[in-house]
Structure 1
Amino acid sequence: MDVSQLLEAAALLTPEENATANDITVDDVWEYLTHDEWEVALGLLEELGDVQPLPPGFWETLAAAAEQMQLETSAAWCHWRCYEARNGVIRADLTLRPAAEARRQTPITGAGVLRPMWDIGHRAPSGEPALDIARLWVECTPFLEPGGRAPVRLAPLDASQWRHLRQGQVITMHEDRSVAGTAVVLELRRPATPPAP
């Protein structure tokens, strides 16, 4: 399928009653599609995907369209949202330790590249923390500086290990044995579709 067909397919998966906070609807998307304004249509569809959970196929289709348009960040975001549709959403408020107090001296890239370890309460047989891995997406900014604070989304390597988390729970981020940052869980949403066995 070409870009316009992919975007049309995603628009067909969007409920007509969905509207963003700015009153954007799927009708607006169709208007941009008829004028071959594909990048704008893609952006609007991404926004409409925030109104209510949509199936993984919606996000896969958007990711394919973004890849054909060579929009790397949009493609990565749509792949991320596809993961969330399958596995659930974990959002947290992360504060990194300042550079003077931590190993990290450079900013974290925000687009889901970093895969730090997290202390989410599991223990090894010895009693020490058993760390779990989750990719990190920083919201609203391309980078998070040491000492900085931002809302983040987490994509666990094994989502089943994270099901015990609760809103308000404090978890710690590690890039080595030392604590790199502290996060407070803001939101937990179960998958839009049940995960495959």
Structure 2
Amino acid sequence: MDVPGLLEAAGLLVPEGAATENSITVNDVWEYLAHDEWEVALGLLEELGDDRPLPAAFWQSLADAAERLRLERSAAWCRWRCSETHHGVVRAELTLRPAGSTFRKRPVPGPGVLRPMWDIGRRLPTGEASLHIGGLWVEYTPSLELGERAAVRIVPLTPSQWTDVRIGQEIAMHEDRAVAATAVVLEVRPPTVAVAGG
């Protein structure tokens, strides 16, 4: 499917009457598509997907369109959002430990590259923390500097292990035995698509 076809397919999955904070609707998308403004249409569709759960097919169509347009960050973002439909997402305010307090010497990359372990409150029979893998996307910035704080999105590798995570809970990020960062949970969204073996 070509770029306009992929964007049209995604647009058809947006609920009728859906609008962004700036009153952008899918009708605006159709207008830009009619004038071959594909990048603008893609951006508007991403905005329309920000405030409501949309199916994986929506995000996959956008990811495919972004790849064809060679918009790498946009493609990565749309693939990330597609994974959220399958695995759920925990949004949190993350604070990285300062330089010298952990092994990390560089900023955390923003676009979903890191897959750290998380202490989400579960315990092993021995009483030690049971750590669970969750991918990390730093919102609104390409990276997070040591000692700084940012809003993040965490996609659990195994959603069934994250069902007890609650808003307001503090969780800890690990890249080794030491705590690399702490995060306060702001929002928990379960998967919208069933995952086999989840």
Q: TM-score, normalised by structure 1?
A: 0.96
1:72 aligns with 2:72: yes
Q: Look up the match of 2:168.
A: 168
**Contact (CA 8 Å) 1:92, 1:185: kept in 2 or not?**
yes
Map of 2:24 onto structure 1? 24
State the distance in 2 between where 1:51 and 1:153 align.
14
SS where residue 70 of structure 1 aligns? coil
Alignment-derived partner of residue 120 in structure 1: 120
Whether the 8 Å contact between 1:96 and 1:147 is mirrored in structure 2 is yes
Contact 1:111 1:138 in 2 (8 A): yes
* Contact persistence 1:97–1:147 (CA under 8 A): yes
Q: Distance in 2 between matches of 1:122 and 1:74?
A: 34
Cα distance between partner residues in 2 of 1:44 and 1:116 = 31
Matched-pair contact (CA < 8 Å) for 2:119–2:131:
yes
Alpha-carbon distance, 1:194 to partner? 3.8
Aligned mates of 1:120, 1:196 — CA distance in 2: 22
Of all paired residues, the percent bearing the same amino acid is 65
Q: With structure 2 as the length reference, what TM-score do the two structures score? A: 0.95
Measured against aligned partners, the alpha-carbon deviations of 1:86-132 in whole angstroms (never above 9, x if no partner) come to 22221011000000322212101100000111111122232211211
Give the corresponding residue for 1:101: 101
Note the residue ranges of structure 1 that are not aligned, 5 or more in a row: none
Structure 2 residue aligned with 1:129 = 129
Aligned length: 197
Tell me by how many angstroms 1:144 deviates: 0.1
Q: What secondary structure is seen at the aligned counterpart in 1 of 2:91?
A: strand
Shift in Å at residue 193 of structure 1? 3.6
1:55 aligns to what? Answer: 55
Shift of 1:196: 4.4
Amino acid at match of 1:84: E
Give the C-alpha shift of residue 179 in structure 1: 0.7
Runs (4 or more) in structure 1 with deviation over 4 Å come to: none
Long gaps (5+) in structure 2:
none
- Is 2:121–2:129's contact at 8 Å kept on the other side of the alignment? yes
Q: Distance in 2 between matches of 1:189 and 1:172?
A: 19
Amino acid at match of 1:103: F
Cα shift readout 1:1-28 (whole Å, capped 9, x = no counterpart):
0111100111111123011001111011
Tell me if the contact between 2:96 and 2:180 (Cα under 8 Å) persists in the aligned partners.
Answer: yes
Q: Is the 8 A contact 1:18 1:51 kept in 2?
A: no
